[in-house]
Chain A
Amino acid sequence: MSEKTTPDPLATGNNSAPEPAPTQVPGGTTSEAVASDVALDTAGGQMPPSAVPAATQLRGRDHRDGDGSVLHQIFTGNAMVSFLSVLLAIVLGGILMAVTNPKVAVTAGYFFAQPGDLLTEVIRPYTALVQGSIFNWAGADLAAQLYPITETLTVATPLICAGLGVALAFRAGLFNIGAQGQIIFGALFGAYVGFAWHLPIGLHLLVVILAGLVGGAVWGGVVGLLKARTGAHEVIVTIMLNYIANFLLLFLLTTPAFQRKGSTNPISPFLDSTALFPELLGPQFRLHAGFLVAIAATAFVWWLLNRSTVGFEFRAVGANPNAARTAGINVARSTILVMAIAGALAGLAGVAQVSGTEKYLSGGVAASIGFDAITVALLGRSTPWGTFFAGLLFGAFRAGGVAMQAQTQTPIDIVLVIQSLIVLFIAAPPLVRAIFGLNPRKKKTTTSGTAGSHTGGVKSGAAA
């Protein structure tokens, strides 16, 4: 989805893939256009640095950045790839369900007599998925009919927050695998303030949210600090910090400060009612005000990235740290700051868990949200609103998966498979384009070395 509906010069990095229209770019730009074409095709290859528009040089990540009108985005390669990946995954998931379902085997036996039966068997789980995630037309009353969509929004809330954390770091060139640990820290801080402190209504929730933000920011900021000061790789650091956070949580839940009085289970006391997000639609729904916070967070990240000097720095550092440094941007400071903010966003997801859905702290408080968040950010092409809608989609999968299992005995794991397939396809855009016949033309990857040779002059590689 688009971050905005009007083209804007300040917008996030342009799609690097546009074919420069020869009529629009006067003066011998033919080879440049060629270069960008080839760049599309050999992004993973060894294009010489400046032969490719810098866009594609950088770990192939930047060309997911979106810009411009909704239409423009939908029709640019990568938004399309996200959409097609989901579609493809759903189709493949359907096939998988079909071959694993004994009923399908039966209906396939008389396929030619009654082809409809087979299709029905394949479509039934998906129908249940929609019924369980969006609208249950079989529901007895309006509340029952609307219950699925509220579940989707509830489940999506922490996914969106954590996804924003991953996306923001992505945009600054950092691969934040550590959302899991940051969620745990956010939940830890938020929950402690929620059950151990007793503050007036309103203030209490605010302090809980703040505590969660701080918790996540600390755990994320440490990563940024290590990266900026020592050059430690953020992927390794965040993975390890995930373990540490997880086991720290499990340990703390056995200590008197955190463990519920009189319980032998490693769970915390319930949070004060003043520390909980208000229910949005009454007690029969789980949907809570945390969802509004997620919307606000999305808007904030959009503003941060597209309208603030801080976000400008983040994006510049992410897209070309050398140029950022040459332009006087403090790369180290940006790295620390972006990881702290990313951590804070993930911490918000932790708060959504303890103050919204769970209402206490347990070892499984972060479930697999931190890892799903990576997928969500990826699917959302690291744009704030893209992440928001990807979070909603994954929320729907989660909520609908339960109904699917209950109604059609299709294992909920199929949802995981579909999610994984989506990631797989997004990670391999040429594959998706090939499947849908969208590759611009037959290309020869060996052209990488020469096609763009006129665009950039002397290359440092050659002059080494």
Chain B
Amino acid sequence: MKLELKGITKRFGSLVANDHIDLVVEPGQVHCLLGENGAGKSTLMNVLYGLYDPTEGEILVDGKPVVFKDPGEAMAAGIGMVHQHFMLIPVFSVAENVALGNETTKAAGLLNLEATREKIRRISDQYGFDVDPDAMVEDLPVGVQQRVEIIKALVRDAEVLILDEPTAVLTPQETDELLDIIRQLKRDGKSIVFISHKLREVKAISDTITVIRRGKVVGQADPTASPTELASAMVGRTVSLTLDKAPAKTGEVTFKVRNLTVTDHNGQHVVDDLSFDIAKGEVLAIAGVQGNGQTELTEAILGVQPHVAGSITLDGEELLGKSVKHVLGAGVGFVPEDRTLDGLVGTFTIAENMILDLYDKAPFARGVGMKPGLIAENAAKKVEEFDVRTPSVSAAVGTLSGGNQQKVVLARELSRPLRLFIASQPTRGLDVGSIEFVHKRVIAERDHGTPVMIVSTELDEVLQLADRIAVLYRGRLVGIVPATTSRDVLGLMMAGVPAAEAEANASAHASGVTAAPTVSEPAGHEGETHV
């Protein structure tokens, strides 16, 4: 099935989200839409999927113009969509989820799930999905849930499959598996529209790349183009993908974690006997697949985890058991992993968010009275310094883009003298330009002599920022390795394989050594704590 979009324009009031976009998706092709957050990729796909009516332009299927009033019509025409946020009902089984909206019934309107199960098994076998139709969706890993979404589309005979940022929630391994699935679908003649801003995947999978910037198609790119070229096309200016950073000048060790154990409400040890150190002027990156204790680790340091044992010292002072206010006051800068949930108050102004943890300190307050003038002044200064794009410091922070929101959080946390800087997923959901900025600020703080702890599930980020890498698996420390460690070894370690074994395995396999940042540091290769 050949799909064409001609001159699609979508306006929201005075806002042009899509501006005369032309796009041709050939059968059996992986067509990638590359663009920054907010470039209008999702809007375009929502138009195609019948969720929005285009203001202008038309959609052609096999040369014939069509109009989709709702997703049902789009699906009937053979278009399937896998949303970034899965549209699954967690307490339903796979078969029930797949049948939903497309139920086959027996006599008296009884649900014929067996037919659906059969279809799922067939598709699952065909593509090697390995999905059990009777498993509860909530019990499935994210990667498998995504396959259920793909099955949902395939059961409805989708010929064109739209994948909206499909890898945002996947581990590196799951991402590879997904790319394999896409290749198989392509071989079967399906067309794939792959939306992403991750250059590595885009290059790996695409036949055609269309770059969208500010609602407009700015051109086609060749998958063989270098990542820097692609990034530049996407952002509209030259960007540097490699971070220029000098080797770490490490000072004394000021931050020590000893035998840290965090117990959750089920009595499970979500952080299990963790010990590590961070010296002044170095970045320790905590790598690991999401949900292996990273969140609990950072929260334990901040003091919001209830059941914590062990010891956390900063400059010799025990932080464990202290209030959040005390920990922050001791000079800990904290960037939480979910900025909208934990980092910002969306309805508050930028100025208010800039002082969210300094609101009761001089000069912003005297006694219980606050100083609006000074607060606005401070915000204006920080907005300037951190290049937050906003019409005004009294705009609600919730109206900013993700990148600008993150800049607000960083501006706040880096605006006071720090003795430890912790940032969780500092660039999650950010575009290339913002990532570059955030990384520079992190390294600047390191070069300032602050111990820095970065938690990231993105291997690229870990490799770029880290001076040393600690890998977590199920709350345990798999090992601390130098930043020159190869991607393959780290991938294995993230699956729980000890460093030495991972090293042996990886070198036995291939010589897939990735160019890592130039920093190297003598460090123990054993999976043991390195001081």
Q: Is the A/B pair a real complex? A: yes
Residues of A within 8 A of B (CB): 7-11, 13-16, 18-22, 24-34, 36-37, 48-58, 62-63, 65, 67-68, 307-310, 312-313, 315-316, 319-320, 322-330, 440-441, 444, 446-447, 449-451, 453-464
- Quick check: is B490 within 8 A (CB to CB) of the other chain? no
Contact of B399 among A20, A49, A451 (CB under 8 A): A20
Known interface pairs A328-B323, A446-B71; 20 further A-B residue pairs with C-beta atoms within 8 A, sorted by A's residue number = A9-B375, A14-B395, A25-B400, A27-B401, A28-B35, A28-B39, A28-B40, A28-B431, A34-B43, A36-B399, A313-B359, A316-B348, A320-B346, A320-B347, A323-B344, A326-B343, A327-B356, A453-B165, A456-B429, A457-B168
Q: Which residues of B contact A10 (CB under 8 A)?
A: 349, 351-352, 370, 372, 375-376
Per-residue CB proximity of B167-183 to A under 8 Å, as 1/0? 01100000000000000
Instruction: Determine if B190 is an interface residue (Cβ-Cβ < 8 Å).
Output: no
- C-alpha gap A234/B71 in the complex (Å): 41
- Whose C-beta in chain B lies nearest to the C-beta of A63? B347
By the criterion CB–CB under 8 Å, are A9 and B372 in contact?
A: yes
Across-interface contacts of A309 in B (CB, < 8 A): 359-360, 365, 368-370
Contact of A307 among B39, B352, B369, B394 (CB under 8 A): B369
Report A-chain residues with C-beta under 8 Å of the C-beta of B40. 28, 30-31
CB-CB under 8 A from A24, the residues of chain B are 391
Using A19-B15, A30-B38, A459-B85 as known contacts, say yes or no to A53 and B399 having CB atoms under 8 A apart.
Answer: yes
In the bound complex, do residue B16 and residue A453 qualify as a contact, i.e. CB atoms below 8 Å apart? no
CB of B320 within 8 Å of the partner chain: no
When A31-B17, A319-B347 are in contact, do A457 and B428 touch as well, CB less than 8 Å?
yes
Q: Tell whether B42 is near chain A: CB-to-CB under 8 Å.
A: yes
- Bound state CA distance, A309 and B328, in angstroms? 17
Instruction: Give chain B residues whose Cβ lies under 8 Å from the Cβ of A328.
Output: 323-325, 327-329, 357
Given contacts A19-B15, A328-B325, is CB(A55)–CB(B346) below 8 Å?
Answer: yes
- The answer to whether A451 and B356 touch (CB under 8 A), given A8-B394, A319-B345, is no
**Are B359 and A312 within 8 A (Cβ)?**
yes
Q: Which residues of A contact B214 (CB under 8 A)?
A: 28, 30
Query: What are 5 A-B pairs with beta-carbon distances under 8 A?
Result: A25-B391, A32-B399, A55-B396, A455-B401, A458-B425
B37 at the A/B interface (Cβ < 8 Å)?
yes
Query: How far apart sit A243 and B361, CA to CA, in the bound complex (Å)?
Result: 43
Given known A13-B348, A323-B341, A451-B43, contact A458–B401 (CB-CB < 8 A): no
Which residues of the other chain, B, contact A459 by a CB distance below 8 angstroms? 84-85, 169
- Whether A13 contacts B372 in the complex (CB less than 8 A), given A27-B401, A49-B340, A319-B347, comes out as no
Q: Out of A14, A22, A460, name the residue touching B347 (CB < 8 Å).
A: A14
Judge whether B290 is part of the interface by a CB distance below 8 angstroms.
yes
Q: A326 to B342, Cβ gap below 8 A?
A: yes
In contact, B70 and A444 (Cβ under 8 angstroms): yes
Would you call A50 and B43 a contact (CB within 8 A)? no
**The 6 nearest A-B residue pairs measured at CB:** A457-B429, A54-B346, A53-B398, A13-B347, A14-B396, A328-B325
Instruction: Collect the chain A residues with CB atoms within 8 Å of residue B145's CB.
Output: 462
Q: How far is the CA of A326 from the CA of B327 in the complex (A)?
A: 11
Query: Across the interface, which residues of A come within 8 angstroms of B51, CB to CB?
Result: 444, 446-447, 450-451
| Residue pair B370, A460 in contact (C-beta under 8 Å) | no
Q: Which residues of B contact A (CB under 8 A)?
A: 12-17, 35-43, 45-46, 51-52, 70-71, 81, 83-87, 90, 138, 142, 145, 164-165, 168-169, 213-215, 290-291, 302, 304, 323-325, 327-329, 334, 336, 338, 340-352, 356-357, 359-360, 365, 368-370, 372, 375-376, 379, 389-391, 393-402, 425, 428-431, 433
Minimum Cβ distance to chain B for residue A136 (Å): 44
A455 to B323, Cβ gap below 8 A?
no
Which of A19, A49, A50 meets B13, CB within 8 Å? A19
Q: For A463, what are the chain B residues with a Cβ–Cβ distance below 8 Å?
A: 142, 169, 290-291
B356 engages A31 (CB within 8 Å): no
Contact indicator B38/A454 (Cβ below 8 Å): yes
B-side contacts of A330, CB under 8 Å: 323, 325
Contact, CB under 8 Å: B342 / A454: no
Contacts of A16 in B (CB 8 A): 346-347, 396, 398-399
Given A458-B168, A462-B142 in contact, is the A453-B42 Cβ separation under 8 Å? Answer: yes
Q: Which chain B residues lie closer than 8 Å to A15 at the CB level?
A: 396
Q: Do B164 and A455 touch (CB < 8 A)?
A: no
- Which B residue sits closest to A316, measured CB to CB? B345
User: How far, in whole Å, are A54 and B350 apart by their CA atoms in the complex?
Assistant: 13
Q: Which residues of the other chain, A, contact B375 by a CB distance below 8 angstroms?
A: 9-10
Q: Are B39 and A30 in contact (CB under 8 A)?
A: yes
Indicate if the CB atoms of B345 and A456 lie closer than 8 Å: no
A65 vs B347: C-alpha distance when bound (angstroms): 8
**Nearest chain B CB to A18 CB, angstrom units:** 7
Q: How far is the CB of A160 from chain B (nearest CB, A)?
A: 24
- The smallest C-beta distance from A57 to any residue of chain B, in angstroms, reads 7
Nearest-Cβ distance from residue A456 to partner chain B, whole angstroms? 6
Q: In the complex, what residues of B have CB within 8 A of residue A324's CB?
A: 345, 356
Which residue in B13, B291, B325 is a CB contact (below 8 Å) of A440? B13
Q: Are B142 and A22 in contact (CB under 8 A)?
A: no
Asked if B372 and A33 sit within 8 Å, CB to CB, the answer is no
CA distance A4 to B124 in the complex (A): 62
> Cα distance A21–B85 when bound, in Å?
27
- For B327, the closest partner residue in chain A by CB is A328
Shortest beta-carbon distance from B437 to chain A in Å: 12
Q: Do A444 and B52 have beta carbons less than 8 Å apart?
A: yes
Bound CA span A52–B360, Å:
29
CA distance A262 to B500 in the complex (A): 94
Complex alpha-carbon distance, A54 and B13, angstroms: 22
Chain B hits for A37, CB < 8 A: 12-13
Select one of B86, B165, B290, B341 contacting A50, CB under 8 A: B341
Contacts of B213 in A (CB 8 A): 28
Give, as a whole number of angstroms, the nearest-CB distance from A15 to chain B: 7
Q: In the complex, which of the residues A29, A57, A440, A458 contacts B428, with contact meaning CB atoms closer than 8 Å?
A: A458
Please, which residues of chain B bring their CB within 8 A of the CB of A457? 168, 402, 425, 428-430
* Chain A residues closer than 8 Å to B325, beta-carbon distance: 328-330
Instruction: Name B38's contact: one of A29, A50, A65, A441 (CB within 8 Å).
Output: A29
Rounded to whole Å, the gap between the CB of B163 and the closest CB of chain A is 12
Q: A10-B351, A33-B12, A444-B52 are in contact. Are A455 and B429 (CB under 8 A)?
A: yes
The minimal Cβ–Cβ distance linking B158 to chain A, given in whole angstroms, is 16
* B396 near A50: Cβ-Cβ < 8 Å: no
Q: Which residue in B345, B365, B396 is a CB contact (below 8 Å) of A323?
A: B345
In the complex, the answer to whether B347 meets A446 with C-beta atoms within 8 Å is no
Taking the closest CB of chain A, its distance from the CB of B43, in whole angstroms, is: 6
Query: Which of B86, B87, B345 has most chain A Cβ within 10 Å?
Result: B345
Are B39 and A54 in contact (CB-based, < 8 A)?
no
Give the distance in Å from the alpha carbon of A157 to the alpha carbon of B52 in the complex: 50
Complex: how many Å from CA A455 to CA B290?
Answer: 20
Chain B proximity of A27: nearest CB distance (Å) = 5
Enumerate chain B residues within 8 angstroms of A441, measured Cβ to Cβ: 12-13
Among residues of B, the one whose C-beta sits closest to the C-beta of A307 is: B370
Question: Complex formed: what's the CA distance from A37 to B397 in Å?
Answer: 16
Complex CA gap A9/B15 in Å reads 26
Q: Which residues on B sit within 8 Å (CB–CB) of A32?
A: 38, 399-402
**A50 close to B340 (CB less than 8 A):** yes
The answer on a CB contact under 8 Å between A461 and B346 is: no
A34 to B376, CA, bound (A): 28
Q: Please, how many angstroms separate the alpha-carbon atoms of A325 and B40 in the complex? A: 35
Contact assessment for A308 and B345 in the assembled complex, using a CB-CB cutoff below 8 Å? no
| Contact present for A26 and B389 (CB under 8 Å) | yes
Q: A10-B352, A458-B429 are in contact. Are A450 and B42 (CB under 8 A)?
A: yes
Distance of A422 Cα from B393 Cα, bound (Å): 35
Residues of B within 8 A of A308 (CB): 368-370
For the complex formed, measure the closest distance between the CB of A17 and the CB atoms of chain B, giving whole angstroms: 9
Give the Cβ gap from B520 to chain A, nearest Cβ, in Å.
31
| CB closest residue in chain B, given A14 | B396
Residues of B within 8 A of A53 (CB): 346-347, 396, 398-399
From B41, B343, B394, B431, A9 is in contact (CB under 8 Å) with B394
B13: which A residues are within 8 A, CB to CB? Answer: 19, 37, 440-441
